[in-house]
Amino acid sequence: MTTATTYVDSPTSAVQATYSGAGKVGYVKGLVTYMIMDDLEVKPLSTISCITLLSRFSVKDVGVLEEKVVDLGMDEGVKLLKASLQTKSVLTHVFLR
């Protein structure tokens, strides 16, 4: 607490704006897709990260993988918060049980 810091305010338009193809206003320079891991670690989604993940879990047949779309409401948010304090497999605990 002995080091001085400088507050740098962001432009109002950048905070309120969303990415549009023409304007490109904001902090993200393009469409970015993220992957959320079971322990709630967030990573940019890329081909390399997907291959690394499949290798880490020794997945040989990608046909056995499933995509699950979930609705996230207030109840699920509370369950996610509670599970994040109790387990390392948060998404499995909340959405697959």
Percentage of residues in the chain with pLDDT exceeding 90? 33
Q: Which residue has the higher pLDDT, 43 or 8?
A: 43
Listed range (10-14, 40-44, 65-69) with the worst mean pLDDT? 10-14
Band the pLDDT of 24: cuts 50, 70, 90.
low
pTM equals 0.59
Calpha distance 37→53 (Å, rounded): 10
What would the pLDDT profile of 48-91 be if each residue is shown by its tens digit? Answer: 988 998 999 899 999 998 888 888 899 999 999 999 999 999 99
Query: Does 1 map to a domain?
Result: no
Query: Does 4 map to a domain?
Result: no
Cβ-count burial 46-82 (b if 16+ within 10 Å, e if not)? eeeeeeeeeeeeeeeeeeeeeeeeeeeeeeeeebbee
Tell me what pLDDT residue 55 has. Answer: 93
- Average pLDDT of every residue of the chain: 81
Residue 12 has what DSSP assignment? H
Range of the domain at 83: 12-60+68-95
Domain count, the chain: 1
Query: Does 17 map to a domain?
Result: yes
pLDDT(30) > 80: no
Calpha distance 79→14 (Å, rounded): 33
* Distances in whole angstroms, Cα of residue 21 to Cα of each of 13, 32, 45: 16, 13, 20
Q: Which of 59, 57, 58 is nearest to 89 (CA)?
A: 57
Query: Does 18 map to a domain?
Result: yes
